[in-house]
DNA sequence: GAGTGGTCTAGACCACTTT
DNA sequence: AAGTGGTCTAGACCACTCC
């Protein structure tokens, strides 16, 4: 039941990235160096690096080297913000307002978030597309993992880039539940919608590279002139 | 600018699968045999087979061999029917009614579907979950690729399994656009909804293994007690 | 020119399934 | 026992980037 060597290599590198020892943009050792350092052949080191590239954690370029993937606001939005123009082109959501508060976790929050936290931080935001407020978004993160985050408001537009830069917390996956519902009161008020206007409700659990459920986010989106894009395979 | 050998191997096998020479469930040659047959080393054949496995086109099992992936109604629904119970468990959609008609393609249909077809076949269906009609679904396929399909009604519950078995057309990808809208008249009538009940509109383009846009599907879903699940990464 | 990743080979040994 | 895929090694050559 012993781990294959290439998986040991993968775990080693994931650990270095998750700990911040290898920050975004850092160059990794070459295949040969990595193999020598960890006592495996170049081919085995290569297999590990290729799998990390497939996971999106590093990027490789012939002649240049292997680098820890840098998350820019653009790449983060591309992956995790699915509201697009009808032709599929990106739209950048602007921040209209933000409220960051620290509070006790509800029972569901405690049960769904990593570490069953007693306290959480709630980030409530209204976002607009092309100047029109269309998204009401409430993100909840466990306080222990994000110590001091409430004092750093206002937060940057793209939270996942911020999580990585400030807390070495790398979001790699988001599981979402979508429903079509009449606009709930707080969202209707924030977005200036009729009480029963149809809106898209998106409930998200975001998971980091270590497999921890790190954020719970509920978004209410008015899809006027925009669409939520997904690709299934 | 010549193709790497392993890509040649991949294309060879994809061709055999898409042509029906390797039907679902068929066993592929072993790595050694395949290498000998195509004049490459076992390692190169292995790389090709591994990539085909990553694409989901074949399945490999230690000690048994490599097999063309069999699409069952279950696996097809798992991949391409995203409406689930709130806890994430599968729900099997039953067929309530079906109308299959042959007609001329609209301009958008002709422009978006493979081969810019003059004629298409439209499959209109109402589906129910746990006995409640919740989905109104209109699928449009180009007539040339699916000759005679209109005469084979009623069609099976899962169209993609049928496309593969009857036409060697393997759907590997679906791009969807979601919006929340008031129920349109035909869907409201078919599902027994109020005229302005909020529903999920899903517009899908399905693409086959040869990269051809093979089906356009518009679904109207009432998300009463159900949710549309996606995983982003 | 030195260093990087990308492709390809040949061979070894292991774990697993089937007969 | 025979045949399969899974892991691992060692070495070669190529294409590319950067200095």
Per run of 10 residues, the mean pLDDT along chain B (length 233 residues) is 90 95 95 95 96 96 96 94 93 95 97 97 96 96 96 94 94 97 94 92 97 97 95 94
Write the CA distances from A119 to A113, B102, B134, integer angstroms: 11, 60, 39
**Which among B10, B114, B8 is positioned nearest to B57, based on CA atoms?**
B10
- Note whether A194 and A180 are within 8 A (CB): no
B79 CB neighbours in chain A (<8 A) are 232-233
- Best of A46, A135, A198 to substitute, by most chain B Cβ atoms within 10 angstroms, is A198
Query: In this structure, what token pair is assigned to residue B39?
Result: 């004049």
Check pLDDT > 80 for residue A132. yes
Nearest 5°: CA angle at A151, between A150 and A152? 95
Check pLDDT > 70 for residue A198. yes
Q: Which residue is nearest to nucleotide C8 (CA to C1')?
A: B44
Check pLDDT > 90 for residue A153. no
Residues with Cβ within 8 Å of residue A192, at least 6 apart in sequence: A133
Query: What's the pLDDT score for residue B213?
Result: 98
Write the CA distances from A145 to A13, A121, A122, A161, A179, integer angstroms: 21, 10, 13, 15, 30
Length of chain A: 233
- Note whether B214 and B113 are within 8 A (CB): yes
Give the number of A-B residue pairs with CB atoms closer than 8 Å: 105
A178 CB neighbours in chain B (<8 A) are 178, 200, 223, 227-230
Check pLDDT > 70 for residue A1. no
Handedness of CA A230, A233, B2, B6 (dihedral sign): positive
Query: What's the pLDDT score for residue A195?
Result: 84
pTM: 0.94
* Residue B141, burial from CB neighbour count under 10 angstroms (0-12, 13-18, 19+): buried
**Which among B153, B151, B172 is positioned nearest to B215, based on CA atoms?**
B172
Handedness of CA A66, A70, A71, A72 (dihedral sign): negative
Is the N-terminal amide bond of B103 cis, ω within 30° of 0?
A: no
Query: What's the pLDDT score for residue B1?
Result: 59
Taking each helix axis as running N to C, give the angle between helix A31-38 and helix A5-18, from 0 to 180 degrees, rounded to the nearest 10: 100
Q: Choose the closest CB to B198 out of A82, A198, A233.
A: A198
The pLDDT confidence band at residue A196, using thresholds 50, 70 and 90, is confident
B182 CB neighbours in chain A (<8 A) are 198
Check pLDDT > 80 for residue A59. yes
CA distance A113 to A105: 10
With pLDDT > 90 as the criterion, what percentage of chain A qualifies?
Answer: 94
What domains appear along chain A, each with residue ranges and CATH number? 5-68 (1.10.10.10), 73-228 (3.40.1410.10)
CA distance B12 to B10: 5
User: Which nucleotide lies nearest residue A61, CA to C1'?
Assistant: C5
């Amino acid at each position: 039941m012993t781990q294959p060597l290439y998986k040991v290599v993968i775990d080693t590198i994931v650990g270095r990235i998750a700990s911040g020892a290898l920050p975004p943009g850092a160059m990794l050792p070459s295949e040969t160096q990595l193999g020598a350092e960890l006592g495996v052949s170049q081919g085995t080191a290569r297999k590990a690096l290729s799998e990390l590239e497939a996971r999106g954690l590093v990027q490789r370029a012939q002649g240049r080297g292997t680098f820890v993937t840098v998350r820019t606001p653009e790449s983060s939005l591309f992956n995790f913000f699915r509201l697009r123009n009808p032709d599929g082109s990106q739209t950048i959501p602007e921040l209209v307002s933000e409220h960051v508060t620290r509070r006790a976790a509800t029972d569901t929050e405690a049960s769904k978030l990593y570490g069953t936290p007693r306290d959480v931080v709630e980030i409530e935001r209204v976002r607009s597309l092309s100047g029109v407020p269309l998204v009401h978004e409430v993100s909840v993160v466990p306080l222990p993992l994000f110590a001091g985050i409430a004092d750093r408001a206002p937060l940057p537009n793209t939270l996942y880039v911020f999580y990585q830069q400030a807390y070495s917390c790398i979001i790699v996956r988001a599981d979402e539940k979508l429903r079509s519902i009449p606009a709930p009161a707080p969202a209707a008020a924030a977005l200036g919608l009729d009480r029963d206007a149809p809106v898209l409700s998106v409930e998200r659990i975001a998971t980091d590279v270590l497999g921890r459920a790190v954020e719970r986010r509920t978004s209410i989106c008015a899809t006027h002139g925009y669409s939520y894009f997904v690709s299934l395979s």
